[in-house]
Amino acid sequence: MPRGRGAFFLVQIEAIADPSPPGGTGESDDEREESFASLVKAMEGMSGQELQDQVYRRLNLTLCNPCFARWIDRPVGAGGPE
C-alpha cells in the first residue's frame, strides 16, 4: 500500500491477561495456595512461548481504507457485539 497518501490504517491490538493474582478475595491461605498449585500444574509441559501468549499478545494490522471501514464497525466479526 502506498505510504504517505492516507491509503491505509495501521491497527495495533494489545491484549493483556487479567493481572489479578490467582484466587479471589475472601479465600483462605490454604485455598490461595491450592489455586496457585493448580495454576503451576496446568503450566507444566508448556513452552515459554505458549505461556507468554496466554499473558500478553500484540498484533499489528495494516488495513486499506475500505477494509478498515468494514472492520471498525464489527471488529470481532459478524457474531460479535453491535
- The model's pLDDT over 1-33, given as tens digits with 9 standing for 90+, comes to 888 999 999 999 999 998 887 656 667 888 878
Identity of the amino acid at 42: A
58: pLDDT strictly greater than 60: yes
31, part of any domain? yes
Query: How many domains does the structure of the chain reveal?
Result: 1
Query: Counting Cβ atoms within 10 Å, is residue 73 exposed (0-12), middle (13-18) or buried (19+)?
Result: exposed
User: Mean pLDDT, to the nearest integer, of 50-70?
Assistant: 92
49, part of any domain? yes
CA 24 to chain centre: 21
The boundaries of the domain holding residue 60 are 8-73
User: Mean pLDDT, to the nearest integer, of 55-68?
Assistant: 94
User: Helix, strand, or coil here: 55?
Assistant: coil
Q: pTM for the complete prediction?
A: 0.60
61, part of any domain? yes
User: Mean pLDDT, to the nearest integer, of 44-49?
Assistant: 90
78, part of any domain? no
58, part of any domain? yes
